[in-house]
Chain A
């Protein structure tokens, strides 16, 4: 049980440093250095060599580049009237749905997930566009933030997806099949989220503003002018999605198309100015610095966990238990939720896969299905404290505290767990679409 003890020590160190109130990235780096020096018994030279290499490597990443670019795109939308118009246009349309504009984060993240391969980029971009609008319109802040944290992680499940690409390469599963397999589970999760929001809106007070917007009277009226308001964002989505599916841009490059499209829209609507440019660039640069500081610190922490052999040893322990298929899945789910407390998506995948994948295949599960299962586990990790990226970026966006955001995300964590159960009981949710495509396409 030394694994358990080590895991608890690391967890304690994280709570200790972060609780102290140091900046999160400083805290996570401190945890790593402490563990390397005291537990792994490494010399300062070795620690320095490891830490600087990981720092440079994790920050100089092509896959990471989409994040600052999408942040910039979101910031342009935020600073022009594109975001206000979007909500003005949506308001009368959603009037009849319980929860009204509170669904905006879920729909927004689902759509944005189709252009972005990252959970962080999805949460931060949609959040920049929606959160202030929702607050100003009197919607429940906790539900808005929680749904954003939960739905942001759809960026990984709905194609394209960076973690799916990594899984596909390592598990030798077709990336295209994986992408197809993520679509229905992604829509299912979105539906679960929306169902929950409708339920809360019907049963709770003060969740949505009293007066319906746009229509004024009892009967909501959708006018042509409202639809025109939706045009800029619709155009933006069509252009970026179109650039990916026409083969013009890779998913990694689509963010640059998004920035260009947002700038063109700002220009055409007469809102592009030097002020807007400099303000949006400088604010994006700062936000990106915050995100990358966390990426670097989390990478160092996961490297440290790798040196501890913690994920490998626990996975090996599970493999020695000879469990029935469903018991194995249940135990693996618990294992991944625990790993997700400390680690982020790609780390979780690469560290556990060499041991868990053979187990899964032996137990008779389809590696394609397991890919989707693993993505759901990774999604859970993005909203669990103490190390949860969606929690971090939302703190950066809202100035709410991590514990508040974690509490607001809790229902969505549970809904994701429901999604995992459904996916396990009905694997066809993931497997039907790729099989149909393969069957039809030859």
Chain B
């Protein structure tokens, strides 16, 4: 083991610091905006709206939901990730895809689907004669969010499992440890960064979710905040609630930073990692298939089935040109922002992992603040600043892509950060000692090891970007169309048949994209 680097901020090269500062400034803009708005409030209004009993209730609801979803997603994602990377089940690629794809279903579509399946007139009652109880309240929100968020943890854990040095397990086995003990002693600790960053993402999502909690009628903090914006036309109190939410995120980030302190998981051996070892499941094979199919059915097949049911129940005329222009719009913003977010996440994560200090950790965390700022507040702040400082940028693709990139930066951080923790710094140091410029040393030695992490990062951002609504609503060029905008526009008017082709478009394109990425992953191993 080499000693952890203890370099000061001065030792950080400019090409790492520059993007970090860029991201930092980008995140600071909405924060300043929120503070400006927040301090327009008068004391009397504050006590009646912000500091009251209801805020506490909402806070407790939020904490209970976040905790519940974290536990449930871990229980589901851990076996899912292990089975699809380490066991001898067949169709691993298929199950991986099925595990990731629920991300392609917008959360409000998922909630509509869950509601549409259940009850006396639900699809289940119609097709199978089974009346499912209608999910609502805490349990409903827990169910919808768990199904929706498990993939986030799954992708993180999967990337980590694929990156673990098998030599560690072999060593443990050579000490005569039983497989279960090997898992607990060597594999589980290696998964910690992935668990933390995946868990962090899940928690941040729960904090910010509006779609699922509102349809399930469970009142969380972000729900109340959203209502302030949409019902009250009131930017001042909303700003206060947003700041409160950001404080909650910051405390989560603090916990995450404490957990990660001193973590160093790279391989101790030299050279690149060997092929991972596959475990034969034996009699556990059947239950494993049962678990995987069950999960895929509830989180993916049932909602997609509901969309198809919408499609065939009423013949609706949707022009292909509409579908195509919406698709082009979705891609023209999702693709560049997923690439940019991964590019920006790389130096941020590198800084936090390779130059560990309080300041660098704080800078790394900046990425998550962009995610914690409610998108509506984020969009309003960009309206405010772009019109004030750079009116020529207002309502351009450039501003929209910028907003997407900064907002989804946090989603790109996790996989890259986990991959960096597993990439041994020695190779890079060796490259430097051969006279390579540090940048080239990183490029030649470390970057290839980060491939899987970078791919996962881009997948995260792309899938989220395909579903994005509030930023697109307020910041896109006039007349700009995306698939998600169309889905929303039709579902709120109860025109489900018309919404279906666009919803299917999101699912199909996201599915193709993820398949492509998974293929990429294999051919370059």
A and B: interacting chains: no
